[in-house]
Structure 1
Amino acid sequence: MKQGLRRVTYFFKRLAHVAASPVRRDNGRGGVVVHPYRGYGSRDEAFVMGRVYRQLALGRMIPRRGALRDIADVARRILRRGVKRAGVEVRLGDNHRQVVTDRDGYFNVRLPLESPLPVEVSWHRADIAVSTAAGRLEHTHTEVYVPAEATDLLVISDIDDTVMFTGVAEKLKMLYRLFVKTAERRTAFPGVAALYQALHRGADGKLERPILYVSRGPWAIYEMLEAFFQLNRIPVGPILFLREWGLSWRHPWPRRATDHKRDLIERMLGLFDDVPCVLIGDSGQHDPEVYTEIVKAHPGRIAAIYIRRVDNNPDRETAINRLREELSGSDCELILAADSLKMARHAHHRGFISAHGRDAVRRSVCSHPETVDSADVAESERG
């Protein structure tokens, strides 16, 4: 009984700690805060996003850390408000553009790259200056990812239950893993790092293909996800969250993400012109349905769909197999896989990854025998 109470108490402490983290950048001073997100782009244009908001200062009696500080920061997050019509200037190389924030304080800058960026690097620094009606000027910066012109494949991957196990199909467990487990303890699916490294490097092992990640999670876990990617040696790309969870009195619950995911993927397809794309997701939510709609709407653009099977629901598997049949007449094949090895076998067969990359996935998956589909291993060894 006491142990259970301690776990519940720990859960809510961690929940408060994570929910409080986005407001800590001001060190308790309050005032106007600028929070930019990683940007992305092509050789023709780039996108830089972020939010400008005003939040309360901490009182002198609030300690610098601990549960009381977390509670105070959660309150500041609930009470903070976006700064509307703040002027935002973004400079990327010799390119610059000015916009104003919307009524909730968000800015989304579409920046035509009239002056080319250096071609020898993919990550570029964007400098951001924000001016408010009160005349205050804030400076910050962020990174913008622009892939090389020779890119032959775009990879767009879900994160939740695709890259790492969050248990979306089991809501309570998902909340525990999302808010309580640290980056070191959050589990990546076996073979994921090797598979994504292989997709990033291509069939000759020398490419640097763009990999864009999307998540149903809140912006509050952005830093934790970055740490998770680095710890697990998963290729880093812009993490394009689908929605702000809207922790406020007006919007206390997360907004629906399905339409946002579809719109985001279609935006990426438009940004990267005729480059074929691989979509990776899981069976627990609506990824197969959304991805199938995109294949039909953009004939010839989607090279493959990889769906990780996260449960043993026969009805769900039947529904996904039905979608695969719908795509049988297209250039895109939908692969439903219990592990990363089946995806790697198909990717190697299609020329997306090297034999070395496929073998690296096999070694990683086989080092976790409880996750291995023996039929996949046997077929991989034959091929």
Structure 2
Amino acid sequence: MAQRGLLHRIAIRAEAWVDRVRPRRRPEAPVLDAYRGYAVPGGVVLRGRVLGSLRRTTPDPEQSRWQNAREMISLFLSDEVADVTVLAPDHGVAVQSDEEGYVTLEVPVTGAPPGWYDVPLEIEGQPDSRKMFRAMIPSPQARLGVISDIDDTMMQTGAYSLMRNLWTTFTGSAETRRIFPDAIVLMDWLTNHGRNPVFYVSSSPWNLHAFLERVFDRAGLATGPMFLRDLGISETQFISGTHGDHKGSAIDRIMAANPGLDFVLLGDTGQHDAEVYLEAAHRHGGRVRAVALREPGPGPDDASRAAIAALKRQGVKVVHDRDFSAAADRLSAAGLAP
């Protein structure tokens, strides 16, 4: 805790120094970056960010790792714009961007069919900024929901090792990043070919939202809203809490938004997902039906093994192995029917 406080103070001073050396100019025409939203009882939650400009990678399987690294680093150099009013003109809803440029609007919706629901948003006084924001409305026939981690669960990353994670993140591209084939098969089974909704929860920053969309779409992975992490620094915040705090909070929001569904949680043992999911099972008694964990790198440590045992004692179906190739069969044999 003391080390975290020291790092926070250092980061605040470093950011202040950068602002003095390269003061930010408020852009004349900021733009909207849209993230995938989700449904809540009576409406949809739309999420995005106000930026000075959009930054995107231009993936090319032939380009060098150095070029990949330059493009990936550029995604983190976002020029966020605070105190901008963003409107949903068709719904009479407005909100101001926070100090990191983020906006969240809850828009009332009734009678919309299941699938992706589009809502136009725009910056006040700037009609050319209008952009469609999408939110997923689950099917009334859904029998359960799926909440999945991304790194080393769906996508090969090496998040259990900081250096391996950084190397993979900054030297790959949307053309080279690999979604595990067994994850695609398992997700298709759990979602019942799209009937059941899926939500992705990751400690990856929001800066990677468009990049991850492209990777997922290219691989044919089931689509769903993403709950990523704010890496911003302020006087009251250093990053956005811990990995476990972020994941636990996102799981709580997803379950509150879908009160009629039980859930299957997918993760890996490299970032202590078993412990996070055990706490979620404690908070949402009976609604965590099953947990499936990939075991990357060195495999589960003592804390993960203890959490897995505790989940089983609560009656949660748990499967864990080096990969997900047998996960569907084992969950089905344990009585899970998506």
Q: TM-score, normalised by structure 2?
A: 0.77
Which one of the candidate residues 93, 99, 117 is aligned to 1:97? 93
Matching residue of 1:320: 304
Matching residue of 2:277: 291
Tell me how far apart the structure 2 counterparts of residues 75 and 235 of structure 1 sit (CA, whole Å). 24
Look up the SS of the partner of 2:120 in the other structure: strand
Look up the SS of the partner of 1:217 in the other structure: strand
Is 1:125 aligned to 2:125, yes or no?
no
Can you list the C-alpha shifts for 1:73-103, whole angstroms capped at 9, x where unaligned? 959946x34221x222226xx7452222233
Look up the SS of the partner of 1:36 in the other structure: strand
1:77/1:31 CA distance change after superposition, 3 Å? farther
- 1:89–1:128 Cα contact (<8 Å) kept: yes
Tell me how far apart the structure 2 counterparts of residues 199 and 328 of structure 1 sit (CA, whole Å). 20
Shift of 1:305: 1.1
Shift of 1:310: 0.9
Matching residue of 1:192: 183
- 1:42–1:147 Cα contact (<8 Å) kept: no
Shift of 1:155: 0.1
1:124/1:303 CA distance change after superposition, 3 Å? same
**5+ residue gaps, structure 1:** 1-28, 57-65, 355-383
Matching residue of 1:233: 220
Which one of the candidate residues 259, 268, 278 is aligned to 1:282? 268
1:345/1:76 CA distance change after superposition, 3 Å? closer
Matching residue of 1:271: 257
Tell me how far apart the structure 2 counterparts of residues 145 and 55 of structure 1 sit (CA, whole Å). 26
Look up the SS of the partner of 2:326 in the other structure: helix
Tell me how far apart the structure 2 counterparts of residues 75 and 271 of structure 1 sit (CA, whole Å). 30
- The structure with the greater share of residues assigned to helix is 1
Shift of 1:247: 8.1
- 1:88–1:101 Cα contact (<8 Å) kept: yes
- 1:165–1:188 Cα contact (<8 Å) kept: yes
Matching residue of 1:17: none
- 1:190–1:340 Cα contact (<8 Å) kept: no
Look up the SS of the partner of 2:286 in the other structure: coil
Residue type matched to 2:108 in 1?
P
Tell me how far apart the structure 2 counterparts of residues 222 and 194 of structure 1 sit (CA, whole Å). 23
Can you list the C-alpha shifts for 1:113-163, whole angstroms capped at 9, x where unaligned? 2x321x2x41111100221xxx44431112111111121100000000100
Tell me how far apart the structure 1 counterparts of residues 287 and 196 of structure 2 sit (CA, whole Å). 16
Q: Indicate the percent of aligned positions where both proteins have the same amino acid.
A: 27
1:329/1:253 CA distance change after superposition, 3 Å? closer
- 1:274–1:301 Cα contact (<8 Å) kept: no
Q: Which moved more, 1:260-269 or 1:44-53?
A: 44-53
Tell me how far apart the structure 1 counterparts of residues 168 and 28 of structure 2 sit (CA, whole Å). 31
- 1:292–1:323 Cα contact (<8 Å) kept: yes
Aligned residues: 297
Which one of the candidate residues 311, 322, 326 is aligned to 1:338? 322
Q: TM-score, normalised by structure 1?
A: 0.69
Tell me how far apart the structure 1 counterparts of residues 195 and 319 of structure 2 sit (CA, whole Å). 24
**5+ residue gaps, structure 2:** 1-26, 55-65
Matching residue of 1:39: 37
Tell me how far apart the structure 2 counterparts of residues 223 and 271 of structure 1 sit (CA, whole Å). 24
Tell me how far apart the structure 2 counterparts of residues 160 and 232 of structure 1 sit (CA, whole Å). 15
> Over alpha carbons, which structure has the higher Rg?
1
- 1:190–1:339 Cα contact (<8 Å) kept: no
Relative contact order: is structure 1 or structure 2 higher (C-alpha 8 Å, sep ≥ 6)?
2
- 1:191–1:341 Cα contact (<8 Å) kept: yes
- 1:53–1:81 Cα contact (<8 Å) kept: yes
How do residues 100-249 of structure 1 correspond to structure 2 at under 5 angstroms? 100-113=96-109, 115-117=110-112, 119=113, 121-131=114-124, 135-137=125-127, 138-201=129-192, 208-241=195-228, 243-246=229-232
Tell me how far apart the structure 1 counterparts of residues 92 and 334 of structure 2 sit (CA, whole Å). 41
Matching residue of 2:297: 311
Shift of 1:186: 1.6
Look up the SS of the partner of 2:191 in the other structure: helix
Residue type matched to 2:33 in 1?
H
- 1:43–1:149 Cα contact (<8 Å) kept: no
Matching residue of 1:53: 51
Look up the SS of the partner of 2:50 in the other structure: strand
Which one of the candidate residues 275, 282, 286 is aligned to 1:300? 286
Residue type matched to 2:327 in 1?
M
Tell me how far apart the structure 1 counterparts of residues 269 and 76 of structure 2 sit (CA, whole Å). 37
Can you list the C-alpha shifts for 1:186-225, whole angstroms capped at 9, x where unaligned? 2222411111111111xxx6x6110111222223322222
